[in-house]
Structure formats: structure tokens, C-alpha cells
């Protein structure tokens, strides 16, 4: 999606800087090539240096593709003889810097979203491991005579009372 947006903005500004209108098949070729370059760089977070270099390379390639794939326009001082004037260079350079900046911020935001999404899963997995380990350590008690605790409870004084509960652990409380 970002490749399509970058190509369309670049083509529009290329025309505004004095270049000839770009044909549809040239735009599709530019989108495919830009997407292919992005696909090759995908897989891990890149730094601003890599993104800026890739953006400048993409803008350089798009400028030449737009120039070849467009109807010939009359030269002007702004665009130069073959579309290499100062205005065209500034437009493509500005789009390259803007694209790299947006990509870097989007990449950082996506990395943060993935990190925040994975962190609770890691915590949940740790809790499940603890619970699974605790459940494996509990052995069922052998049934004894009704009314007697499963193991003897020592009485230290008359103030100690055994509190019978349904589930483990069996506790002793002082009243």
C-alpha cells in the first residue's frame, strides 16, 4: 500500500515539477518495482540509513522510468533539457527524504505494536507453565476413614483449631 502511495505521489509531483504526464502502464511498472524492492528489504527492522538509500534509489529509478514512459514535454529552465533540472532533482529528493522518514516511523510503530502484542503472550505462557507444573506436583490423597483428616494434625494447645476445607492446602488456624 505504501509503495502505491509513494509511486502516485512521486508521479504527481514529477508532473507538477514540469515532467510530462505518466502513462498508466508506467505507473503499474513503477509500483511493481517499488513493491519488489520493499519486499526484498522486508523481514526485519531497517535503520534510517538503509531506508534513505533505498528511497533515493527508488526515486532515481522512478524519475528515469517516468521520463522514458511519458510523452515528451518541452524543456524549461525548471525541468532542464531531459528532465534533470533543479526543480525535478529537488522534488524527487524531497519525496525520497519524506518517504524514508515515514517508513522509519511506521516501521518503529509496527515494531512497538508487535512487541506489545507478544509481551502479554509471553507472560501468559509463563503463567500456564507455572500452573501446569503446580498441577503436576499435586498428588491425589488416598481416601481414609470419613471424618478424619488425611494426615495427623499436631495439637500444640487448646487454642489451635483445625479448619477443614474442601481443597488443598489443609490449614491450621489459631483462634
Task: Give residue 3's pLDDT band: very low, low, confident or very high (50, 70, 90).
Answer: confident
Cα of 10 vs its chain's centroid, Å: 25
pLDDT surpassing 70 at residue 144: no
For the chain, percent helix, then strand, then coil, each to nearest 5? Answer: 60, 5, 35
Residue-by-residue DSSP string for 136-147: HHPPPPPP-STT
Which parts of the chain are beta strand (E)?
A: 160-163, 171-174
Rounded Cα–Cα distance for residues 172 and 85 (Å) = 90
Q: Give the whole-number percent of the chain exceeding pLDDT 70.
A: 65
pLDDT digits (tens, 9 = 90+) for 54-107: 889 988 888 888 888 776 655 555 555 555 677 788 888 888 899 889 888 888
Question: Where along the chain do its domains lie?
Answer: 2-133
Residue at grid coordinates 514529477: 14
pTM above 0.95, yes or no: no
SS3 173: strand
Q: Residue 16 is placed in which grid cell?
A: 507538477
Amino acid at each position: 500500500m505504501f509503495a502505491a502511495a509513494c509511486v502516485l505521489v512521486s508521479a504527481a509531483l514529477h508532473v507538477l515539477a514540469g515532467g510530462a504526464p505518466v502513462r498508466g502502464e508506467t505507473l503499474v511498472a513503477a509500483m511493481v518495482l517499488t513493491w519488489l524492492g520493499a519486499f526484498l528489504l522486508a523481514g526485519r527492522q531497517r535503520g534510517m540509513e538503509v531506508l534513505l538509500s533505498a528511497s533515493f534509489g527508488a526515486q532515481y529509478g522512478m524519475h528515469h522510468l517516468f521520463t522514458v514512459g511519458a510523452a515528451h514535454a518541452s524543456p524549461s529552465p525548471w525541468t532542464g533539457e531531459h528532465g534533470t533540472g533543479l526543480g525535478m532533482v529537488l522534488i524527487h529528493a524531497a519525496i525520497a527524504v519524506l518517504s524514508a522518514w515515514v517508513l522509519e516511523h511506521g516501521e518503529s510503530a509496527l515494531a512497538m505494536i508487535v512487541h506489545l502484542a507478544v509481551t502479554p503472550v509471553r507472560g501468559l505462557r509463563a503463567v500456564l507453565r507455572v500452573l501446569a507444573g503446580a498441577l503436576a506436583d499435586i498428588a491425589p490423597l488416598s481416601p481414609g476413614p470419613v471424618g478424619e483428616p488425611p494426615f495427623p494434625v499436631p495439637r500444640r494447645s487448646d487454642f489451635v483449631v483445625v479448619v477443614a476445607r474442601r481443597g488443598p492446602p489443609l490449614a491450621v488456624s489459631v483462634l
